[in-house]
């Protein structure tokens, strides 16, 4: 294959690789360390940690940390009257600077129950340079079955979630991130999907 892979940073280019990356996700028990999950590379080195209600104590708030424990993303479910009237639940992520949320990074639009029943895609909008499409990425398939895919607007695969049958897929699964794509972004999306589906980041 000739040519170099273009990096497509959303959180940061330091989380992009020119090679395909397989990440392994292991849920943590609430009773031991507050739940959430850890993300490891192929050498079983922790590259991300996700904290939810078990540690933060607030429903609908998540933090993604890198392997060194530095907070990378703060994610919050939006509320209010406009939210209540919308056909979607909205999640918004922010870069963390000096331990505090700063610039918005992406928003995820979760279909409410009636749309979720018909398996409507979950869509994601990247907030950059003032450009706002209706959506930039979408999640299709079933996260609860560990069989879903993140695609861009052109239909290119960004990441695929899967699980081997011999492993308890609810507790341990993998995600394949295609070359050039931002792994921290993918983990942030997984964190929201985990919370939506009342898994390890929920109270």
Question: What pLDDT, in 10s, does the model give residues 18-62?
Answer: 999 999 999 988 777 788 999 999 999 999 999 998 888 888 999
pLDDT of residue 81: 43
- Banded pLDDT at 91 (limits 50, 70, 90): very high
Which is it for the CA torsion 71, 132, 153, 110, positive or negative? positive
- Banded pLDDT at 147 (limits 50, 70, 90): very high
The arithmetic mean of pLDDT across residues 133-145, rounded, is 90
Domains of the chain: 20-196 (2.40.160.200)
Highest average pLDDT, of 44-48, 110-114, 130-134, 164-168, comes from 44-48
- Banded pLDDT at 102 (limits 50, 70, 90): confident
- The DSSP secondary structure of 145-166, one letter per residue, reads TTEEEEEETT--EEEEEE--TT
pLDDT higher than threshold 50 for residue 2: no
Model-level pTM greater than 0.85? yes
CA dihedral 69, 74, 75, 81 (to 10 degrees): 150
- Banded pLDDT at 166 (limits 50, 70, 90): low
């Amino acid at each position: 294959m000739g040519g170099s892979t273009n990096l497509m940073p959303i959180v940061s280019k330091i989380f992009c690789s020119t090679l395909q990356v397989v990440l392994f996700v292991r849920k943590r028990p609430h009773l031991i360390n507050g739940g959430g999950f850890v993300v490891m590379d192929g050498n079983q080195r922790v590259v991300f940690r996700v904290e939810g209600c078990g540690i933060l104590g607030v429903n609908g708030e998540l933090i993604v940390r890198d392997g060194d424990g530095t907070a990378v993303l703060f994610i919050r479910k939006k509320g209010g009257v406009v939210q209540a009237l919308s056909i979607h639940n909205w999640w918004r992520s922010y870069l963390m600077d000096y331990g505090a949320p700063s610039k918005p990074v992406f928003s995820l639009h979760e279909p409410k129950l009636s749309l979720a029943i018909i398996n409507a895609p979950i869509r994601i909008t990247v907030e950059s340079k003032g450009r706002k499409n209706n959506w930039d990425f979408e999640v299709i398939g079933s996260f609860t079955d560990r069989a879903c895919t993140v695609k861009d607007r052109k239909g290119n695969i960004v990441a695929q979630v899967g699980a081997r049958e011999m492993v308890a897929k609810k507790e341990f699964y993998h995600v394949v991130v295609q070359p050039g794509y931002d792994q921290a972004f993918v983990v942030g999306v997984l964190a929201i999907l985990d919370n939506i589906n009342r898994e390890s980041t929920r109270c």
